[in-house]
Structure 1
Amino acid sequence: MKYAILILILLSFNSYAKEMKVCFEDFLPSAGMKGDKPIGIDVEIISAAMKTQNVKIKFIMLPWNRCIYELDKKSIDAIIPMVYSQERDEKYSLGTSMRTRGNILIRNPKTKEINSLQDMSGLKVGSAKGYVISKEYTEATNFTKVDITSSDEVAAKILKEIANGSVDCGIVDMDSAYILIKKLQLEKKVIISNFKLKKASHVGFVKNSPYLNLYEKGFKIISDNGQIKRIIDKYYHNK
């Protein structure tokens, strides 16, 4: 009996000893840091899903391109959030979509009103290098796409480029846009359009990651018990 109990304790310890490394950029309300504590909708969703599988998570905050670099090196196990593209699907393993969010178009006050991709003809449009906006955006050829990079928060740089007229408009995550515009005091220097592009957020795992199946099991549990909805509602209620 003593040996049986010892074996169970060791098995339990080994199960909880598993630690998955997950990278994200400073991108609230998706993910970010409050002091030394990781917070955000997607942080809480993946944490809750993996907790049901007794997997601990070590969160690492880096610029997006550095997260991709580390994932390619396999020095981390996953990135949140990742948007689907055929290239990414072939290179990484994408888990079931955590949630659907959206991009929104922000324009300089001197730029004409924009309600569609067609309205962007002849304009310079900024977006984060390496970000996937949508299939329609990728295939559009009627405007100039300007890849914007930053060693800091790339969405903030996009907004600043719009405000100073370096680009006519830009695509930014809808949730982050409102927070950043207020934070950067750009309310009178940029205009939020009504043009939105929906996208699904995934966990991007190393190809054939052993954590993928555990995530899928955990995600189903917290989806069925309503925990995902409660997490999302909490953040939107507090916006």
Structure 2
Amino acid sequence: MRIVALCLTLLLPWAVQAEPWKVVGDEQFAPYSFVTIEDDQPRGLDVELVEAVMQEAKIPYSLRLYPWERVKRMIDRSEVAMAFQFAGTPERMQQYELAGPIRTGSTVFMTSRKTALNDWDKLDDLSLFTIGQVRGYAYQSDFDKAELSRDTSAQNPRQLVSMLLAGRIDVIVGDRVQLMYFVREQRAEQSVRILPKPLVEMPRYVAFAKGDSARAKQFSAALERLRQAGTLETIYSRWH
């Protein structure tokens, strides 16, 4: 019995390491992560980036996409090993072990052509307008804390764009590529305007539970190898 116990003890670290990582992301973050109606499979730029890193690290994994609020609950409760894609704000860095960034996106303000707002300099310049944003999203620290009129009823960016096009909101905030993806989906390019000044160039990370630095370092090392090899740039080019 003591020999069996010793063998199990020696095998335990290997068994833990070999257990597949449960990886989750946002199901409504096209073109970065989304689920196709046809085959219910995760697709998108960030999905391909994460899968490439996991394969480079030779880590067994399962990857599924869920509504963003559920993604955050799952990582907060340690129900999964890793979640993506988190904005690189100081608040997020305090909450999680962040690895990356896997990419950087431009966060912008979008209005309809009818809205009397051509640009902004200070956040106060937006105080006369109601700004639509997705519930639970972090955008940029100063903006997130600013006393502005906000509508947080949108559950995802697609819904946010629909609200703007329907005239239910004055201004929306989000990733430039993503907002334009949903605008083009509705063939409404001529109905919207992106303000020239972006809110922030925001790096996007994968998140691990606070204290799980071993997994974070393992992911980061594989990510850097792919960056040096030019593999990440090849994936980016397929989506831009």
Instruction: Confirm or deny a common fold (TM above 0.5).
Output: yes
SS in 1 for 2:177: helix
Q: Give yes or no for contact 2:87–2:204 (8 Å, CA) kept in 1.
A: yes
User: Aligned to 2:169, what secondary structure does the other structure show?
Assistant: coil
> Normalising by structure 1, what TM-score?
0.83
Does the 8 Å CA contact 2:132/2:154 hold for their aligned counterparts? Answer: no
Aligned partner (choices 203, 221, 224) of residue 217 of structure 1: 221
Which deviations, in whole Å up to 9, do the C-alpha atoms of 1:140-171 show, x marking residues without a partner? Answer: 33x31222342xxx111111222223221110
Letter in 2 for 1:192: I
Q: State which of 50, 55, 62 in structure 1 corresponds to 2:54.
A: 50
1:30-63 Cα offsets, whole Å, 9 max, x none, are: 1123424322222122212221221123111111
The residue aligned with 2:197 is: 195
- 1:148 pairs with one of 128, 150, 153: 153
- In the superposition, the TM-score normalised over structure 2's length comes to 0.82
**Any idea what SS the aligned residue of 1:162 has?**
helix
Aligned residue type for 1:144: S
2:135 corresponds, among 111, 117, 129, to: 129
Q: CA deviation at 1:113?
A: 2.5
**Conserved? CA contact 1:15–1:55, under 8 Å:** no
User: Relative to structure 2, which stretch is displaced further, 111-120 or 96-105?
Assistant: 111-120
Do the aligned residues in 2 keep the contact of 1:41 with 1:232 (CA within 8 Å)? yes
Amino acid at match of 1:128: V
Residues of 2 paired with 1:196 and 1:202: CA distance?
20
Instruction: Tell me, in whole angstroms, the C-alpha distance in 1 between the residues paired with 2:231 and 2:17.
Output: 21
Kept in 1: contact 2:131–2:173 (CA 8 A): yes
- Quick one: distance in 2 between partners of 1:67 and 1:149? 16
Provide Cα deviations, 1:49-89, integer angstroms capped at 9, x if missing partner: 22122112311111111111111121112221100223322
List alignment gaps of at least 5 residues for structure 1. Answer: 1-9
- Could you say which residue in structure 1 is the equivalent of 2:4? none
In 2: Cα distance, 1:204 partner to 1:196 partner: 25
Alpha-carbon RMSD across the aligned residues, in angstroms, is 2.3
| 8 Å CA contact retained: 1:115, 1:195 | yes
* Aligned sequence identity (%): 20
